[in-house]
Structure 1
Amino acid sequence: MLTGFYTIASGLMAQQKKLETEGNNIVNAQTPGYRTQRVTAVPFDQELYSRLENGTSSEIGYASPATIVKNQTTRFNVDNIKQTDRNMDVAIDGNGYFTIAGSDGKKYITRNGGFDVDSSGYLELPDYGHVLGTDGQPIHVGDTNFTVLSGGTVLNSSGQQVGTIMLTTPADDAELTQYSNGMFAAPANAQTGAAGAGVSLRQKSLESSNVDLNREVSMMMEAQTSLQSCSSALQIYDAVNQKSASQIASL
């Protein structure tokens, strides 16, 4: 009798995870460079079902009594690059990620180029950390009147070269860990260096997120409806079990 509880509970957990993921996508719809996430649910291990009738047993077939969340995937398609006319905004036109030295001592990668200059004159991604150059060190620009050339070379307000923005390109088969704010953990086997062929940096521009709000809201409503259906089914199944225990057992 407990099989039904496990089946419904697995559905509840899968839909709850979908709701959380869709909600995070909607919250980050305006986060520059954010990448949409998707939950992939698959059937649990299949079981052989049989039928007992008139003292004889016959096989019905295979089925799965539960659903589990297999993984959470990320859509990496590049979205629109929009001009902002803000000098500290930089967008990547092509493959690659900016490399950020986090305040927690870890390295992160992101497509979010909404930079700023900290009180010490270093180029930073606000609230996250310093932007690294190809030498592995933070880039000191001095003030906000710096220039970023298409190849990633950074010039200060005096026209002197102060560094080159490092771009990180993960391997095609790399599994990136994305955090809720659109930042990714820097993979160990990624290629790092200056912008390569077919890649350029565009100053005074930002890449928007690839979240389709209409689709996300629709999918969130669908997951909410499924969650409510599972909740109702759980109540019905519980009532059936209570009658089985109190009424049928008393016969």
Structure 2
Amino acid sequence: MLSGFYTIASGLMTQQKKLETEGNNVVNSQTPGYRTQRVTATPFEQELYTRFENGNTENIGYASPATIVKNLTTRFNADNIKTTDRSMDVAIDGNGYFTIAGSDGKKYITRNGGFDVDDEGYLELPDCGRVLGTDKQPIKVGDTNFTVLSGGTVLTSAGQQAGTIMLTTPADDAELTQYSNGLFGAPANAPTGAAGGSVTLRQKALESSNVDLNREVSMLMEAQSALKSCSSALQIYDQINQKAASQIASV
């Protein structure tokens, strides 16, 4: 009788994770460079066989049907670049990511080019960290009247070269961990360099998130409905067990 609780509980946890993930997509629909995430679920019984099989095809037993969250997948397709007329906004037209030296000492990559200038005159991504140049040092622009050329060279308001924005290009099959503000963990040994060839930088422009808001809201409602159904099923199953216990005891 208790196996049913495990089945329903697995459904509750899976739908709760979907609800959280799709809600996060909706919240970040206006975050420049944000990438949509999806929950990948798998049957628990299949997961159990995969983990313990190791070439042995002997039946190891049966588990109650259940699903578990296997991982979060990220959709990396680029979205539209929109003109903002804000001089500190920079968009990447092509492949690659800006490289950020985080305030926590770690390095991140992002397609979010909504930059600003900190109190010391360095180009930064607000609340994240400073933008790195091809010399792997933060770029000091002095004030907000800087210019970014298509190849990534940054000129100060006085016309002096402040540095060249570094772009990191992870492999297509690289597993990137996504954080807030459209940040991803910088992969080790990923190629870095300046824009060039088919990749250019565009000042006074930002890349939108790739969140399809209509689809996300629909999936959010679907997850809410499924979560409610699992909750109702859990209550019904509990009532059935209570009645079974009381009737059996009265016999």
TM-score (norm 2): 0.92
The 5 A counterparts of 1:36-55 are 36-46=36-46
Could you tell me how far apart the structure 1 residues matched to 2:129 and 2:239 are?
Answer: 55
**Residue in 2 that maps onto 1:124:** 124
Q: 2:153 is aligned with what amino acid?
A: T
Task: Show structure 2 runs of 5+ residues with no match.
Answer: 49-61
Higher strand share: 1
Q: How many Å apart are 1:120 and its aligned residue?
A: 1.1
How many residue pairs match? The answer is 238
Q: 1:13 is aligned with what amino acid?
A: M
Q: How many Å apart are 1:189 and its aligned residue?
A: 2.7
Could you tell me how far apart the structure 2 residues matched to 1:182 and 1:166 are?
Answer: 17
Matched, 1:167 2:186: no
Could you tell me how far apart the structure 2 residues matched to 1:3 and 1:191 are?
Answer: 50
Q: How many Å apart are 1:115 and its aligned residue?
A: 0.5
Could you tell me how far apart the structure 2 residues matched to 1:64 and 1:143 are?
Answer: 63
CA contact (8 A) 1:171 1:189 kept: no
Q: How many Å apart are 1:170 and its aligned residue?
A: 0.7
Could you tell me how far apart the structure 1 residues matched to 2:145 and 2:2 are?
Answer: 67
Could you tell me how far apart the structure 2 residues matched to 1:181 and 1:134 are?
Answer: 23
Could you tell me how far apart the structure 2 residues matched to 1:64 and 1:6 are?
Answer: 7
Q: 2:18 is aligned with what amino acid?
A: K
| Runs of 4 or more above 2 Å deviation | none
Q: How many Å apart are 1:126 and its aligned residue?
A: 0.8
Q: How many Å apart are 1:64 and its aligned residue?
A: 6.0
Q: What is the RMSD computed on CA atoms of the aligned residues?
A: 1.5
Could you tell me how far apart the structure 1 residues matched to 2:181 and 2:112 are?
Answer: 10
Could you tell me how far apart the structure 2 residues matched to 1:9 and 1:214 are?
Answer: 29
**Residue in 1 that maps onto 2:195:** 195
Q: How many Å apart are 1:116 and its aligned residue?
A: 0.7
The 5 A counterparts of 1:51-200 are 65-200=65-200
CA contact (8 A) 1:24 1:180 kept: no
- Identity of matched residues, %: 85
Deviations along 1:49-107, whole A, 9 cap, x unmatched? xxxxxxxxxxxxx8861011111011100000000111110000011110000111111
Matched, 1:238 2:243: no
Q: 1:16 is aligned with what amino acid?
A: Q
Matched, 1:210 2:210: yes
Q: How many Å apart are 1:9 and its aligned residue?
A: 0.1
**Residue in 2 that maps onto 1:54:** none
Deviations along 1:145-204, whole A, 9 cap, x unmatched? 111111101111121111000001111221000013321111113111111421100000
Could you tell me how far apart the structure 1 residues matched to 2:105 and 2:131 are?
Answer: 13
CA contact (8 A) 1:146 1:155 kept: yes
**Residue in 2 that maps onto 1:26:** 26
CA contact (8 A) 2:153 2:161 kept: yes
Task: Show structure 1 runs of 5+ residues with no match.
Answer: 48-61
CA contact (8 A) 1:143 1:157 kept: yes
CA contact (8 A) 2:3 2:64 kept: no
Deviations along 1:104-123, whole A, 9 cap, x unmatched? 11111110000011111110
**SS at the partner of 1:45?**
helix
**Residue in 1 that maps onto 2:58:** none
CA contact (8 A) 2:91 2:207 kept: yes
CA contact (8 A) 1:43 1:64 kept: no
Deviations along 1:193-228, whole A, 9 cap, x unmatched? 111421100000000111111101000000000000
**Residue in 1 that maps onto 2:57:** none
